[in-house]
Amino acid sequence: MTTERFEVQRQVAASPATVFALLCDPRGHVTIDSSGMLQSADGDPVRQVGDEFVVHMDRESLNDIPMGKYDVTVIITKFEQDALIEWMISGTVQPPIMHVYGYRLEPSETGTLVTTYYDWSQIRQEFRERGVFPIIPESALRATLGILARTVE
């Protein structure tokens, strides 16, 4: 059976509200990105399902597909204040590929247990057959949690 979802956790010494505020801010995504693809972002902090912002990307940092620089729209698909945020990407490929990223936040004795996930289980068959997923490795999620912790603690 092939894994179609990565999920990693880390304790962060900051409140769920502090972590969530960073995750709602488009520039926060750029700040904590470990892949090097996210270059900058435009838009207001998100507040609900359906909110969107634009991220300026550079695929050359992965050195896998010669896409160069391009923009994607992040569309919030799940939103629970201080507890859950999930989004899908609408980019150069239309309709969207249907891979999602997200964070679950749980209060803990030391601050927040942060769980991040990357799920490509709903991608279209044509992308499954190309064998290009996952785009980022599980280690990148773990590294992003390290940057998140350093940023909010």
pLDDT digits (tens, 9 = 90+) for 7-57: 999 999 999 999 999 999 999 999 999 999 999 999 999 999 999 999 999
The domain ranges of the chain are 5-152
Multiple choice CATH, 5-152, 3.30.530.20, 2.40.420.20, 3.90.470.10, 3.40.720.10:
3.30.530.20
Q: Reply yes or no on whether the pLDDT at 1 is more than 50.
A: no
> b/e for 43-53, b at 16 or more Cβ within 10 A?
eeebeeeebeb
Q: Reply yes or no on whether the pLDDT at 2 is more than 60.
A: no
CA dihedral 141, 114, 5, 131 (to 10 degrees): -20
pLDDT digits (tens, 9 = 90+) for 81-133: 999 999 999 988 888 889 999 999 999 999 999 999 999 999 988 888 888 88
Q: Reply yes or no on whether the pLDDT at 64 is more than 80.
A: no
Tokens of 98: 């249907």
Q: What is the pLDDT of residue 59?
A: 84
Transcribe 11-58 into DSSP letters. EESS-HHHHHHHHHSHHHHHHH-SSS-EEEEESPPP-STT-EEEEEEE
Contact indicator for 77, 100 with CB cutoff of 8 Å: yes
Task: Decide which of 131 and 64 is more confident.
Answer: 131
Q: What is the pLDDT of residue 66?
A: 75
Q: What is the pLDDT of residue 4?
A: 93
Tokens of 75: 């569309």
Q: In whole angstroms, give the CA distance from residue 73 to residue 130.
A: 23
Q: What is the pLDDT of residue 33?
A: 96
Q: In whole angstroms, give the CA distance from residue 7 to residue 141.
A: 8
